[in-house]
Amino acid sequence: MSINRTIAPALHPIGKPDLVRPEKHVLKNGIPVYALKAGKQEVCKIDFVFNAGVWYQPKQLLASLTNAMLQEGTAKYTAAEIAELFDFHGAYLQCTADYHYATISVITLDKHIGKLLPVVEDMLKASVFPEKEFNNLLNRRKQRFMLEMEKVKILCQKKFSQVLFGEGHPYALGLKAEDFENVCLDDFVDFYNTHYHAQNCELHLAGQFTDKVIQQLDHHFGGDDWNGTPVETPQFHAQPQTNKRERVHKEGAIQSAIRLGKLLVDKQHPDYFGLQILVTILGGYFSSRLMLNIREDKGYTYGIGANFINLNREGYLLIATEVDKSYEEATLKEITFEIERLQNEPVPQDELERVRQYLTGEFLRDFDGAFALGQAFRNLHDFGLDYSFYDNYHQAILSITAEQLQQLAKQYLQTDSLYTVVAGQ
Amino acid sequence: MIEFSRHRLENGLDIILYPDYSTPMVAMDICYHVGAKHENPHRTGFAHLFEHLMFGGTKNIPDYDIPLQLAGGENNAYTTNDLTNYYLTVPKDNLETAFWLESDRMLELDFSEKSLNVQKNVVIEEFKQRNLNQPYGDVWALLRELAYTKHPYRWTTIGKEISHIADASLQEVKDFFYRFYAPNNAALVLSGNIDKDRCLQLADKWFGSIPKRDVRQTDLPVEPEQTEFRELTVTRKVPDTALYLAFRMSDRRSREYYVCDLISDVLSSGNSSRLYRKLVQEEQLFTELDAYISGDHDPGLFVVSGKLNKGVSIDVAQKAVWIELNKTKQDPVDSRELEKVKNKLEANHVYAQMGYLNMAQELATYENIDRAEMMNDQLDWYRSITAEEIRETAQKIFRKENCSQLNYMAQ
């Protein structure tokens, strides 16, 4: 039997994901534990989260290096012993510091949790900051930094963040080579003592674990032997610079990196969902307008994207690409053209339908698996939101109109309000 | 044990079904058994360029992406030296759309001059972005060229030079398609929320009528044994000098491959590994140092690569690495250390099963190497390796005349 291949199979409505939510426990000393049980494999991720990110650091490097030093030696374990224990159990220890939080993550087979927690306990309560390891780490981080500074996309992103938030704001990437020179180990020990304690800590679990784990956590982290003073959150306000266009020179660069954008609304704002959908149409998926025009029609770039990025305190639009220097001006012109088109014409119904379907599919993908569900919770919790946020977003995807989108484009994406940074030759 | 079933259509298309009902999604992965190693030496980068053209639409379906997006789907692809892999994810109820799209581009592409010209440009920008405008971006091109003389692994997937991509013609594109893209040169893997009978019925409906093609898998040039030490020194505008040692090793199906994988783990998996503890932490000769195997299907490379600390010479650095390599040749790995690397492989095997898409890709990769069933044998293979076997293999691999050394000097 021959089939007619020009006719697409019938489409079925895309369901809503089943959002597993965490259960909240509280340790004896008041530390909240959000435990999200999901998944098939007996794997568990435990995040120890502290308000100790860049937002809280009085000096460059404090947040990231303090966090990284936790695996470099404690009262009971040397760095080698810590590494050995995790490796031997096939577990991963990840130390990360971002804008707001410093996190120690343990990813392990459930059966080994009990062997790893005593080490984490000593890291959090009794890190010793050995000088040799510190200097080595500082040196390696500096080399990594110097390498990053060779990349046009990094130079562009740094400048863009400074333009958007103002120098000195925690979201402005202000790290310089000389910051590696004037550090003092005592500052890091101080930062550790004031930020890594029970009154500044939250625990997040995701995966498959037994109920015993809460008792184990209480045993290791629920005591009053690591109390401290609650950390105050400093206030910063973004102060975008007035000059709308900046250029960073990079000798010998074959391609130029381009960043465009501006501050938008926060996640609580009624226009948030509409702007997410609008930015998706502009540059958030493979058949977005920027991709179809600048990559798939003109071939100027390997990739171009637009994102509406939400940090805890600010949301902003970011359009990013890398193109041959000779395509620089033409690319900027097409970006402007595509933004103005969103203002001047309503999005055609078939395109809007496609974006609705794509985003509903993304909805399923984004919440798939235990770790993704854990992250989905963080994306609410860290912003003071509840699960109705996702219902509202889902509803907005299904119901937003072309007129509303056009109105948002007119209101928020005026091209003379955008900042443009180019890094290249 | 990873439970999956295997089937084959009359036209030779192999089908692997791996159910995972913890997700509402399905991943479809189609692996074509063609990669950069099948390219003409004057058209390197062609398999990857072709991958881009597979998204250019067919006569029946002018746009690949739009119908998939309407089904709530998302897709991508990658090319290696050994294979070209296309994958998508879609909500389970819209799975048939995936069958329709993938089968139609296996049947025939709408070969267009415009699509070819645009994608050539896109790939050339990709070449610049990944290789030319990136510090250390040409390392693999240099290393492959040094370590191989005959086998097509001597060029990278992106291609040897931009002109090879720029000069590709539409006729070459057509020839490549009919030569390598065929049901009898592909594997279809479905993972996630699937019903076996329905999948087989859909596979037969959409793929069953695609004719078998005359796929001529010619023998690839065999790389002669290396008999003398090779060394290349280049100077580049990068912040740090880097050292690369590449040793020739056996193919992906040999026992030696697994032993080499364990050796690389002993040397550099995790912060407790030998190279990190000794040469990064203790002696501080390197700021980064790794040992890994290239993972190629034909005989591949065991690579040790590192960035040197300021003030350390290449000579001091390479001697220090050799001291560590020689230890693996002289002393058997102690039992706890061996247990550690095996435990890690076992845990990673469990972690890998947490994602349905990842599983589809892994099964497709094993199917391309030989058979997907291999995936279940991996742990037994690793478990059976002894300390003595590690020592013997280290003696065989870590010989100066089996080594290609690249000195990548900071200007």
Residues 314-353 of A with CB under 8 A from B: 322-324, 353
If asked whether residues A118 and A217 sit together in one domain, one would say yes
Chain B residues close to A88, C-beta within 8 Å: 272, 336, 339-340, 343
Chain A residues close to B336, C-beta within 8 Å: 88
Average pLDDT score over residue span B309-325? 97
If asked whether residues B11 and B134 sit together in one domain, one would say yes
Exposure of B152 in the CB half-sphere (CA atoms within 13 A): 25
Between strands A255-264 and A315-324, the pairing is antiparallel
Average pLDDT score over residue span B269-295? 96
What phi, psi does A420 have (nearest 5°)?
-125, 125
Determine what percent of chain A is predicted with pLDDT higher than 90.
Answer: 96
A229 within a domain of the structure (yes/no): no
If asked whether residues B240 and B202 sit together in one domain, one would say no
- The residue of B132, B237, B281, B356 whose CB has the most chain A CBs within 10 angstroms, and thus the best one to mutate to test that interface, is B281
What phi, psi does B12 have (nearest 5°)?
100, 0
ipTM of predicted assembly, 2 dp: 0.92
Residue A52, CA distances (Å) to A97, A203, A389 in order = 7, 14, 27
Q: How far apart are CA A141 and CA B199, in angstroms?
A: 50
Chain B residues close to A39, C-beta within 8 Å: 22, 354
Contact B127, B162 (CB under 8 A): yes
Q: How far apart are CA B406 and CA B402, in angstroms?
A: 14
Contact B287, A140 (CB under 8 A): yes
- The strand order across the sheet containing B5-8 reads B5-8, B14-19, B186-192, B25-32, B84-91, B74-79
Burial of A108 (0-12, 13-18, 19+ CB in 10 A): buried
Which domain, by its residues, includes B393? 230-410
- Whether residue B366 has pLDDT greater than 80: yes
If asked whether residues B82 and B195 sit together in one domain, one would say yes
Averaged pLDDT of chain A: 96
If asked whether residues A75 and A202 sit together in one domain, one would say yes
B102 within a domain of the structure (yes/no): yes
Element (DSSP H or E) covering residue A386: none
If asked whether residues A290 and A323 sit together in one domain, one would say yes
Q: From the centroid of its chain, how far is CA A152?
A: 21
If asked whether residues A210 and A264 sit together in one domain, one would say no
Task: State which amino acid sits at residue A277.
Answer: I
Q: Residue A347: helix, strand or coil by DSSP?
A: coil
If asked whether residues B192 and B253 sit together in one domain, one would say no
If asked whether residues B172 and B240 sit together in one domain, one would say no
pLDDT of residue B376: 93
Task: State which amino acid sits at residue A64.
Answer: S
Chain A residues close to B307, C-beta within 8 Å: 143
A107 within a domain of the structure (yes/no): yes
- Whether residue A393 has pLDDT greater than 90: yes
Closest by Cβ to A17, choosing from B24, B205, B336: B24
Closest by Cβ to B25, choosing from A3, A368, A371: A368
Sequence-separated contacts (24+) of B124-128 with Cβ below 8 Å: B124/B162, B124/B165, B124/B166, B125/A255, B125/A299, B125/A300, B125/A301, B125/A302, B125/A322, B125/A323, B125/A324, B126/A302, B126/B158, B127/B45, B127/B158, B127/B159, B127/B162, B127/B165, B128/A254, B128/A255, B128/A324
- The residue of B89, B271, B337 whose CB has the most chain A CBs within 10 angstroms, and thus the best one to mutate to test that interface, is B271
If asked whether residues A306 and A199 sit together in one domain, one would say no
If asked whether residues A252 and A207 sit together in one domain, one would say no
If asked whether residues A134 and A271 sit together in one domain, one would say no
Between strands B403-410 and B242-248, the pairing is antiparallel
Contact A9 B129 (CB under 8 A): no
- Angle of helix A402-412 relative to helix A328-344, nearest 10 degrees? 130
Nearest-Cα distance to chain A for B40, in Å, is 24
A14–chain B Cβ distance below 8 A for any pair: yes
Q: From the centroid of its chain, how far is CA B40?
A: 19
If asked whether residues A190 and A304 sit together in one domain, one would say no
Beta bridge partners of A321: A258, A304
Q: How far apart are CA A294 and CA B239, in angstroms?
A: 33
Burial of A58 (0-12, 13-18, 19+ CB in 10 A): exposed
If asked whether residues B198 and B240 sit together in one domain, one would say no
If asked whether residues B283 and B375 sit together in one domain, one would say yes
A152–chain B Cβ distance below 8 A for any pair: yes
Chain B residues close to A367, C-beta within 8 Å: none
If asked whether residues A215 and A300 sit together in one domain, one would say no
Chain B residues close to A323, C-beta within 8 Å: 125
- The residue of A1, A14, A116 whose CB has the most chain B CBs within 10 angstroms, and thus the best one to mutate to test that interface, is A14
Contact B95, A222 (CB under 8 A): no
Contact A354 B22 (CB under 8 A): no
Contact A87 B272 (CB under 8 A): yes
- Whether residue B217 has pLDDT greater than 90: no
pLDDT of residue A18: 84
Q: Which residue has the tokens 């760095």?
A: A79
A145–chain B Cβ distance below 8 A for any pair: no
Q: How far apart are CA A242 and CA A277, in angstroms?
A: 28
Nearest-Cα distance to chain B for A88, in Å, is 4
Between chain A and chain B, how many beta carbons pairs sit less than 8 Å apart?
A: 214
**Residue A368: pLDDT band with limits 50, 70, 90:** confident
Buried b (16+ CB within 10 A) or exposed e, B148-178: beebbbbbbbbbbebebbeebeeebbeebbe
Beta strands in A278-372 (DSSP E): 301-310, 315-324
B170 within a domain of the structure (yes/no): yes
Q: How far apart are CA A279 and CA A284, in angstroms?
A: 6
Contact B125 A150 (CB under 8 A): no
A87 within a domain of the structure (yes/no): yes
CATH number at residue B150: 3.30.830.10
Average pLDDT score over residue span A13-39? 95
Q: How far apart are CA B184 and CA B14, in angstroms?
A: 8
The per-residue pLDDT for range B18-33, each reduced to its tens digit, is 999 989 999 999 999 9
Helices (H), B269-334: 274-275, 314-330
Chain A residues close to B60, C-beta within 8 Å: 5-6
- Angle of helix A62-69 relative to helix A131-148, nearest 10 degrees? 130
A23–chain B Cβ distance below 8 A for any pair: no
Residue A209, CA distances (Å) to A25, A108, A109, A205, A277 in order = 14, 10, 9, 9, 37
Contact B271 A13 (CB under 8 A): no
Q: How far apart are CA A205 and CA A45, in angstroms?
A: 6
Task: State which amino acid sits at residue B148.
Answer: Y
- The residue of B133, B162, B240, B334 whose CB has the most chain A CBs within 10 angstroms, and thus the best one to mutate to test that interface, is B133
- Angle of helix B335-352 relative to helix B387-397, nearest 10 degrees? 90
If asked whether residues B36 and B179 sit together in one domain, one would say yes
CA dihedral B380, B386, B391, B394 (to 10 degrees): 0
User: Domain tally for chain B?
Assistant: 2
Query: In the numeric block, which tokens belong to residue B302?
Result: 């065991």
Averaged pLDDT of chain B: 96
pLDDT of residue A336: 98
Closest C-alpha to B165, from B118, B123, B111, B105: B123
Contact B209 A2 (CB under 8 A): yes
Closest C-alpha to A43, from A288, A175, A207, A164: A207
Closest by Cβ to A302, choosing from B122, B205, B276: B122
Q: Which residue has the tokens 């390997």?
A: A302
- How many Cβ atoms sit within 10 Å of the Cβ of residue A305? 17
Which domain, by its residues, includes A310? 245-424
Contact A143 B239 (CB under 8 A): yes
If asked whether residues A118 and A205 sit together in one domain, one would say yes
Closest C-alpha to A311, from A32, A98, A31, A30: A98
Beta strands in B138-211 (DSSP E): 186-192
A70–chain B Cβ distance below 8 A for any pair: no
If asked whether residues B144 and B93 sit together in one domain, one would say yes
Contact B354 A302 (CB under 8 A): no
A90–chain B Cβ distance below 8 A for any pair: yes
Contact B121 A300 (CB under 8 A): yes
Chain A residues close to B273, C-beta within 8 Å: 87
If asked whether residues B266 and B350 sit together in one domain, one would say yes
Contact B23 A353 (CB under 8 A): no
Nearest-Cα distance to chain B for A44, in Å, is 10
If asked whether residues B275 and B158 sit together in one domain, one would say no
Nearest-Cα distance to chain A for B276, in Å, is 10
- Whether residue B361 has pLDDT greater than 90: yes
Nearest-Cα distance to chain B for A206, in Å, is 12
**Residue A2: pLDDT band with limits 50, 70, 90:** confident
If asked whether residues B252 and B192 sit together in one domain, one would say no
Closest by Cβ to A90, choosing from B72, B336, B346: B346
A238 within a domain of the structure (yes/no): no
Domain end (from A221, A253, A281): A221
**Length of chain A in terms of residues written:** 425
Buried b (16+ CB within 10 A) or exposed e, A176-189: eeeebeebeeebbb
Contact A14 B60 (CB under 8 A): no
The per-residue pLDDT for range B102-115, each reduced to its tens digit, is 999 999 999 899 99
Query: In the numeric block, which tokens belong to residue B192?
Result: 């996630």
Task: State which amino acid sits at residue A114.
Answer: G
| Ramachandran category for residue A207: left, alpha or beta (phi over 0 → left; psi -120 to 50 → alpha) | left
Domain end (from B172, B192, B207): B207
Nearest-Cα distance to chain B for A233, in Å, is 34
A396–chain B Cβ distance below 8 A for any pair: no
Contact B268, B323 (CB under 8 A): no
A364 within a domain of the structure (yes/no): yes
Residues 98-127 of A with CB under 8 A from B: 107-109
Q: What is the DSSP letter of A73?
A: B
pLDDT of residue A1: 55
Closest C-alpha to B301, from B344, B242, B369, B252: B252
CATH number at residue A291: 3.30.830.10
**Residue A240: pLDDT band with limits 50, 70, 90:** very high
- The residue of A77, A108, A112, A368 whose CB has the most chain B CBs within 10 angstroms, and thus the best one to mutate to test that interface, is A368
A226 within a domain of the structure (yes/no): no
If asked whether residues A249 and A295 sit together in one domain, one would say yes
Element (DSSP H or E) covering residue B157: none
Query: In the numeric block, which tokens belong to residue A131?
Result: 């000088």
Report the alpha-carbon angle B357-B362-B368, nearest 5: 130
Give me the DSSP letters along B134-149: STTTTHHHHHHHHH-S
If asked whether residues A85 and A199 sit together in one domain, one would say yes
